[in-house]
Structure 1
């Protein structure tokens, strides 16, 4: 989990667009965030296994 201060600072609009970065909407993680879903890989995997993401299923081949 991200610190509360970092999350609050992240929500404020940035002075320049290049300073913006993606964060997970659930846990606040900055790395490996899927843009399409807005969540990190850890939360994505957990939500996909629980069936909370429509159209996502485990790959089989």
Structure 2
């Protein structure tokens, strides 16, 4: 189980990302449209003034059951440990253990 504060931090980042999504998108679109160097610098400054945790890049994928961030399977939203346990118990449809 991951630390409670790490899970809460990820939730906070997700909320900030939702809050500032449209604002960031508008600035990025105008940044791509602008041609002068001075305009680009002003727009970059606006982006830098926003909270860092509002950037989508800072989010981290976590297992929805344990909160573990490493060994994460995107298709299932689980960490490798939980994925293995659930697949052995036949709780994941379509997953079979392979042997050759």
The alignment's TM-score, normalised by the length of structure 2, stands at: 0.57
Q: Runs ≥4 in structure 1, deviation > 4 angstroms? A: none
Superposed CA deviations along residues 1-57 of structure 1, whole A, max 9, x for unmatched, are 111111111112240011011111111111110000000100000000011000001
Looking at structure 2, the residues matched to 9 and 35 of structure 1 have their Cα atoms a distance apart, in angstroms, of 20
Please name the residue that 2:11 is paired with.
11
1:1-61 matches, cutoff 5 A: 1-12=1-12, 13=14, 14=17, 15-61=54-100
RMSD of equivalent CA atoms: 1.0
Report which of the two structures shows the higher radius of gyration computed on alpha carbons: 2
* Greater percentage in helix: 2
| Structure 2 segments unaligned to the other structure (5+ residues) | 18-53
Count of residue correspondences? 61
